[in-house]
Amino acid sequence: MEPISPEQRQALEALYQRVETRAADISGSHDWWPCRRGCDHCCRHLSAPLPLTELEWRYLWEGFQRLPEHVQAEVRARVAELERSGASRPYTCPFLDREAGACRVYAHRPLACRSYGFAAARDGGRWCHFITDLLARHGDGDIVWANQDSLEETVASLGGPTSTLFEWFAAHR
């Protein structure tokens, strides 16, 4: 697999940093916000295979390659099982350490994971029922959401086709 160029890395990491800044602002200014260390609800209830651009895949692949071999084998086995089962919904992310409730490739996770719970799109928010319930109680008048549509357009412009996590794994056995 072709390595990520310094320019691509800088652009992708700058985009990810923008999302991280927005997420920190939202969760830091709202003590009731559920998206914090220890919450893995979205990771355990994915409705569709994660979409990744080629650049995001290569970045995620770097994190995957740093995992111990036995963990890589476990992740691959989970991906294969999800493919065999047709990824019945909801499904659990194959990168989730189910006992610890933590992402094994957290620093390399894709945009969809970084922005979930902190972004809104033209067709609505990208968040779970916990946030929906809390917004009904607290409102969102003081929240400056990340713009999901803009984020997705930016990551798409950085390079390569978009495929699902399962398709990328299938292409890199």
Provide, rounded to the nearest whole percent, the portion of the chain with pLDDT above 90: 76
Residue-wise pLDDT tens digits, 46-60: 888 889 999 999 999
Residue-wise pLDDT tens digits, 78-102: 999 888 877 567 889 999 999 999 9
Bigger pLDDT: 84 or 109? Answer: 109
The pTM of the full predicted model, rounded to 2 decimals, is 0.92
Residue-wise pLDDT tens digits, 141-170: 899 999 999 999 999 999 789 999 989 999
Quickly count: other Cβ atoms within 10 Å of residue 169's Cβ: 22
Rounded to 5 degrees, φ, ψ at 97 are -80, 100
Contacts of 146 (CB under 8 A, 6+ apart): 18, 19, 22, 23, 115, 118, 119, 120
pLDDT for the residue 36: 84
Which sign, positive or negative, has the C-alpha torsion 144, 107, 63, 46? negative
Spans of all domains in the chain: 6-171
